Structure 1
């Protein structure tokens, strides 16, 4: 009884222990789950915090960029504010002294009196600039030749100091007359200015309309011109570009005014100082430069408002104004339209141009007509000035005021184009943003009248402009202000380039390379006369391309198929052969693909892969002479000896080649001869089986002879040159490239041969 109670008590205790253990396990499990859940929540929270931190960092970066942009805009606005205050002050003073009242006829036939200040106070005067005219060019490599040719006609040395081409450095070769010279190429504006401290003119050839701002923003006009303006040595920046946003132009002008720099353009073809310096494409070809006598300085300063966006957009204006179809004195119109025509006119009626500038046709030009007139007025060599303005804008009135105030004391012949605008019922846009018919004050008639009243010599029409220039110049000659040129300077003749001379059939030059296998002159490359498109359309393969480029003819399909089989079978033979081993070692040394490939190819020769030609020579010589073949040790090495092959372990590649040949070749004479030699050799040694070199060599002889497309002399030449080894080189390059990629993909370390594999001995 006692034992039973004792047993029952023990069972209860065990049950309690078991329940306690289960409870503890459950508690532990719940605790683990709770900790795991807490850890997961913590990880999620950390990830969320990291994401928020990254987002905040990006927001900070965006805000920083925005702040930098605002600071830049603020600087420009402060500059513009300073200029505006100065402008208002000068304007108030000018209004107090003089004004010009014009009547504007509005659309409602009501007369409205408009009062404006007739003076230009928009910038500091330019006549205090002393330019050495040594230029730096941003891009424009193709335009340098015309500049160098121009320099040769009137300068002892080229005036171009250097070229700026982002990302490139070095030298650009060009001809200066008969002599070849080099011009430095710099990667950055700062480096160019440091290397050429005497260069004070920067010519920017970037075309704004061709810029993909999101990709090439570094090449935009403002991004490339502003650093130049900030260089202390640069005094003039000429921008040869159209379509520049007005905000960018204002930014450049504001900085230039604040720092007494000059901006010519944008939307200009540039300018020229006769016999000294040329900016942009102005003056056209070298023949036109010589015809316009721009190779030596004259006595006339010329400035034009614009070139009317290239003569094309000016046809409508000139057609009505002159009542002719075109206003052209000679041949075709050059690229810079009216500027170039005026150079021609001035050269005919005077002693020529001293300096000519086209300020550009945008609403906000970097420099104005009066800016350059003030400069011309202070240049002793300039005796008279010619101004060609246009309708739209009020730039010409600054010149009117300068003439009235006596700031210009030289003769000014002026004409404002656009008198035809009244013939149109509505406002017309002529070419660019600055030339458009608008209010009466901006009309060509009002400007011409104002210039005439101020003392300028204004003709009655555009056709009379030439006569006015001639009469003014003759008056200066009579007064003794200008001495007539007694003997015209003959400019040096520009040597004609070989390419243009050959094109014009003036000279003949020998060629230096002869090529008969391919031609890339036409619309598409041709292989042995077969167009590339024809090869693709016919579904031809690599073997067909080899037949065209190597043998200069289209071989039958079984021949090209055999070539492709040879390439596939010889592409690789494992990593242990000498070529693959060299490539692997080179690749593991960190060398590039080409170096690794070449190191393997250099092992190809008599002992590795390069015995196909020798095998073909042996078989051809013996079979063609129908003599008993003497198996020499050399022949054994070349065509028979198998390293790991024997009578019972034939080379599978040899079997595949022979099988294809028996099924497709019309004749296998050389292969059968090789098999006969192999049978005889096997009676001497078990490992003297035909190797792959001997098989390819004998079968290629059958291909050449059996195709009927080669003469005996051509077959001998092919074997002698080494065509067949070329097949192995081509094929094995595939495998060697594969080994290079394999080692680099596996990131294998530098190879070092193990000591235990070296016998050190004396």
Structure 2
């Protein structure tokens, strides 16, 4: 018996036979109807979707049972295995043997499926490709496989060297697909595509970013093909420990063995820095080359300068044999061109072999590419592979979040570090996620940190639900006797509606409430930003109801304070009052106890000091590139709050529209902002603007920034875009420093100077501006790498000092346009900046420039500093943090080394980020007591009108809508028709009749009703080219008009004489039948009143020669409708009228009209009043218009297809009556 799943419709549908395989344990290939030896992935997807339609718990039309859920889970597992090359190979191996023949193994298909799923979990095969994308999403500089680097060199070396050099074979990459004989790559196909494998000795090695492979015994040298194949197969998909990291070997490189002498091995490395590219060359190479930094000859080539063979010979090749110098110089020159043209950021070859015939061969290569240059180099790169670090296994849960991240504008990231760990985090913001991880490590729980990631960028309620649910499901995998911790936090959001995201969080907590209590999970939340109070209130109410004991905190609590509270390191703080918003903190002025200290005074800057970045004043104005209305309005609101006399934005530039004016608010008044199509015009019209806020995309930001630097009045350029290629950034920096232009960014939120200027969205929404007192200047000037953390710094500074004097986020790229030192020198020379604050991060050396300035006495003001990323030492594999530059390239670039160096240089460095507020407060207090800062009483907090859209979202205002719609809604996750989602429209197969019933009648009608509606559309679709509507359409089409004009021409002829009789016919016959008047008497009544009976009469048809359209409509109504009183009455009238003349029959219009009345009256879906309204509203004429539009469009297309010329009516078909011309009344 077939499985039958109840459906909401009238009939139950038998489930396809494949679904029954879920119960029977049939092998997967049969289940999905694919040939095992001719695998077709598209057929797998097609079969999966077909089966899922029947077994998905949400598609059953009833409450799903545990058995339903289990069936669908099994289907998903089967699809996962069969749709993944590596898992399919495992399944075949356990079921049929590696070769795919020999019948089913004794354990059967069920066991084979279980084995595949088990191996997917243990070895993470199914997740590796997903991990590549996840890892890539966090990159700017990404390592590539050795095979990829050599393949690019093989392809482009002849081109860049002008044919002088070429590389031998780049080898072949062997992946786990060789385990599956039906996959695209097998050992046979490898041999077919690379016949050289049989004719030369070979080298085999893993290609997975593993360092020191030779010392780890992971290189097979001078092997035959069979030996190399066996060596690879012995290690494929096996665990391997390399130093302190254990991972799975699953990608191998096989390449030709190159016989050579030791003295023929050399070393070369190319890498990029802010101002130059560096080339290291050593005449000796190989695994025992030693410390190349100390041994190698080095060449520093300033960025943008041309490299020549003469320079190479002079700087790098002094120890090379004279006979080989020229050839090697030529190769190095070509290699450098290859390096720059393809946007490499690092390239190391060791050994680089030069044979006796001067052939140069790279034996081992390591390379990193600037992934952000993809839009420039995609065609050259081809499909590059971005492998994760060796030992970093991938998880299906990471894949789920990565897939969701790819479908949304929000940023959703998840990396699982230790699935058995006790400390889990759910953090909003990239910079915040690092400081949370740091703080966990600082309190001695780094080994228990389970995950790293973020959810930010205004994720939807549903996305937050899935993210939280994924984390909770991971937490439930393993119990710990001491319980676990879930820290939900983040920085102060700019625009994310906290309440909306927390609604999704609450949904996940409700689903896992019992599990949370069983696993003894302690949850603490710290969140701030738009609508945070409502979010915290909702979570607290849900916690109390579910008995979860969650503690919630807002911006009054330090961002990471919840971590030591959760871990029991400090006493938990009292939870805040959630009944009122968190305003500016109450300031307690420091009591000097009668002391009158004498300040030291502000030292004058050294003679000739000039800063590239010009400090903003209350008169500074800007030009904004891009139609960023929200950001501009935020800048104007900030200006108004700071009591500026005029807006800080003079104009906007938007090249994709003509010049226009856009309305903005200045307080409560409206002002017009000019928008120009070119920067040149904007600068000419507004010569006093000195700041250029560039919102151009990463594709065009280089061009627009370079143009802006041509105008001398633009002194500061803020580049907001992320993902700017490093070569373009370095080019911008070079030109900017030459022209004395200050650059903020790329990848920055901007900067803020209270009372003067706000760049873009810096500081977040107005309530955060007020809470952090950014409307008036304080004494603390800060610089941060992270834009997201700048809001948090504003909050920290406001609560531990008199506030922010100026704050800048320089951006997280490796080469920010301006460095820490550039800003701190400016702050040092500004008498109003009394105290300096630095928030750096792992990666880069910019902090050391600041250390040198302090040591040399150039910076004398107290500096409080901290570098985030100290948790990096807790990870056994390399982790790329949220910023492109947040990755150490040496011991000096680690956060721990920087913090230590700053502390030794006299900086005020706390023990951890969690202690940063205390350090700021201490230094500030010392400055006040020393008289360097003179505190003043707080003034009145300014008021700025709230944006209407946000006020309405918070439920603070209301106004009547101009439009009301009750039939469709496009605001949610998907479009709905009268409450039915568009996916349900198709899954339930309601057809065009069902859609029409939803949109016209606001309800789903029975199937026979929707079928009747579709019949009406079909029989009214056309009636030949001679009728007035079709004729008009044809004539208009032949006049060269467009489709819409031609269709309208035809539709405008519809009226009482053509097609418009349906409503009148329905009303006439319905009224007559309802009045109880006999048909004969009604006809006489109509005759006496001189009224035509609508719906009666046809040009040629009669009872003896019936209209088949009428017969079809009439037959369907008689068969399916519950009763047909109006149709019966009309047929009785027909019997009388045809006695007078044979063609006075009930025509198709009349038959449709009376049948439709019977349908809506008898189907039970409408009241009598609703039926009368539908007739009065013209519903029936609407059906004719909709149906006949099909035919009119057909006639239009037909005329174009036939290429018909302009129509002109013939004279002989027109009667001209000249006698009446010019006559008027006598």
The aligned counterpart of 1:352 is 803
CA shift at 1:136, angstroms?
0.7
Deviations 1:180-227 (A, max 9, x none): 55545555545554554443323334675xxxxxxxxxx354344333
| 1:126 partnered with 2:580 | no
Find the residue that maps to 1:250 and give its secondary structure: helix
The aligned counterpart of 1:366 is 817
Q: Where do 1:261-660 residues align within 5 Å? A: 261-304=741-784, 306-307=785-786, 336-337=788-789, 339-379=790-830, 381-389=832-840, 393-399=844-850, 402=853, 411-417=861-867, 431=881, 432=883, 433=885, 436=888, 438-439=890-891, 443-444=897-898, 447-448=901-902, 451-452=905-906, 463=916, 465-471=919-925, 473-474=927-928, 478=931, 484-495=935-946, 497-498=948-949, 500-520=950-970, 523-625=973-1075, 626-627=1077-1078, 628=1081, 629-630=1083-1084, 631-632=1086-1087, 635-636=1091-1092, 638-645=1094-1101, 649-660=1105-1116
| 1:241–1:559 distance in 2 versus 1, CA, 3 Å | closer
TM-score, normalised to structure 1, is 0.69
User: Which deviates more from structure 2 when the two are superposed, residues 682-691 or residues 714-723?
Assistant: 682-691
> Among 164, 167, 170, which residue is 2:656 paired with?
167
| 1:643–1:413 distance in 2 versus 1, CA, 3 Å | same
Distance in 2 of aligned mates of 1:156 and 1:619: 74
| 1:365–1:668 distance in 2 versus 1, CA, 3 Å | closer
| 1:302–1:644 distance in 2 versus 1, CA, 3 Å | same
| 1:405–1:672 distance in 2 versus 1, CA, 3 Å | closer
Contact 2:637 2:944 in 1 (8 A): no
The aligned counterpart of 1:681 is 1137
The aligned counterpart of 2:401 is none
| 1:634–1:143 distance in 2 versus 1, CA, 3 Å | farther
Deviations 1:236-265 (A, max 9, x none): 222234443322221111121222222112
Find the residue that maps to 2:778 and give its secondary structure: coil
Contact 1:414 1:451 in 2 (8 A): no
> Among 667, 670, 693, which residue is 2:1126 paired with?
670
Distance in 2 of aligned mates of 1:747 and 1:231: 56
| 1:471–1:519 distance in 2 versus 1, CA, 3 Å | closer
CA shift at 1:644, angstroms?
4.5
Contact 2:1098 2:1147 in 1 (8 A): yes
CA shift at 1:371, angstroms?
1.9
Distance in 2 of aligned mates of 1:682 and 1:441: 100
CA shift at 1:406, angstroms?
6.3
The aligned counterpart of 1:732 is 1188
Q: Where do 1:61-210 residues align within 5 Å? A: 80=303, 125-126=611-612, 132-138=620-626, 140-141=628-629, 143-154=631-642, 155-165=644-654, 167-168=656-657, 174-181=664-671, 183-185=673-675, 189-190=679-680, 192-193=682-683, 196-205=686-695
Distance in 2 of aligned mates of 1:234 and 1:474: 37
The aligned counterpart of 1:691 is 1147
CA shift at 1:468, angstroms?
5.0
Find the residue that maps to 1:655 and give its secondary structure: helix
| 1:466–1:706 distance in 2 versus 1, CA, 3 Å | closer
Distance in 2 of aligned mates of 1:721 and 1:395: 73
| 1:648–1:419 distance in 2 versus 1, CA, 3 Å | closer
| 1:602–1:379 distance in 2 versus 1, CA, 3 Å | farther
Distance in 1 of aligned mates of 2:610 and 2:1215: 88
| 1:336–1:664 distance in 2 versus 1, CA, 3 Å | closer
Greater relative CO (CA pairs within 8 A, separation 6+): 1
| 1:687–1:192 distance in 2 versus 1, CA, 3 Å | farther
The aligned counterpart of 1:27 is none
The aligned counterpart of 2:708 is 228
Contact 1:127 1:378 in 2 (8 A): no
Distance in 1 of aligned mates of 2:773 and 2:682: 32
Find the residue that maps to 1:354 and give its secondary structure: strand
Find the residue that maps to 2:1095 and give its secondary structure: helix
Distance in 2 of aligned mates of 1:369 and 1:344: 21
Distance in 2 of aligned mates of 1:655 and 1:138: 64
The aligned counterpart of 2:298 is none
Count of residue pairs brought into register by the alignment: 606
Distance in 1 of aligned mates of 2:1126 and 2:1051: 29
Distance in 1 of aligned mates of 2:1039 and 2:657: 30
Distance in 1 of aligned mates of 2:854 and 2:1158: 97
Find the residue that maps to 1:244 and give its secondary structure: coil
RMSD, matched Cα: 4.2
| 1:446–1:616 distance in 2 versus 1, CA, 3 Å | closer
Find the residue that maps to 2:863 and give its secondary structure: strand
The aligned counterpart of 1:57 is none
Contact 1:79 1:254 in 2 (8 A): no
Distance in 1 of aligned mates of 2:981 and 2:879: 50
CA shift at 1:377, angstroms?
4.3
Q: Which runs of 5+ in 1 are unaligned?
A: 1-61, 64-75, 85-119, 209-218, 308-334
Q: Which runs of 5+ in 2 are unaligned?
A: 1-158, 161-275, 278-300, 308-605, 1222-1226
Distance in 1 of aligned mates of 2:795 and 2:306: 38
Find the residue that maps to 2:751 and give its secondary structure: strand
Find the residue that maps to 2:1140 and give its secondary structure: coil
Distance in 2 of aligned mates of 1:179 and 1:655: 68
Distance in 2 of aligned mates of 1:80 and 1:607: 81
| 1:421–1:519 distance in 2 versus 1, CA, 3 Å | closer
Distance in 1 of aligned mates of 2:979 and 2:944: 43
| 1:238 partnered with 2:718 | yes
Find the residue that maps to 1:583 and give its secondary structure: helix
Contact 2:1062 2:1181 in 1 (8 A): yes
CA shift at 1:271, angstroms?
1.1
Distance in 2 of aligned mates of 1:589 and 1:174: 46
Distance in 2 of aligned mates of 1:422 and 1:735: 69
Distance in 2 of aligned mates of 1:421 and 1:616: 78
Distance in 2 of aligned mates of 1:348 and 1:146: 24
Contact 1:623 1:673 in 2 (8 A): yes
| 1:435–1:710 distance in 2 versus 1, CA, 3 Å | closer
CA shift at 1:757, angstroms?
3.7
Contact 2:978 2:999 in 1 (8 A): yes
CA shift at 1:290, angstroms?
1.6
Higher relative helix content? 1
User: Which deviates more from structure 2 when the two are superposed, residues 656-665 or residues 261-270?
Assistant: 656-665
Distance in 2 of aligned mates of 1:644 and 1:558: 31
Find the residue that maps to 2:923 and give its secondary structure: helix
Contact 2:616 2:757 in 1 (8 A): no
CA shift at 1:505, angstroms?
3.8
Distance in 1 of aligned mates of 2:775 and 2:791: 14
The aligned counterpart of 2:735 is 255
> Among 707, 716, 721, which residue is 2:1172 paired with?
716
Distance in 1 of aligned mates of 2:717 and 2:1172: 69
User: Which deviates more from structure 2 when the two are superposed, residues 190-199 or residues 722-731?
Assistant: 190-199
The aligned counterpart of 1:22 is none
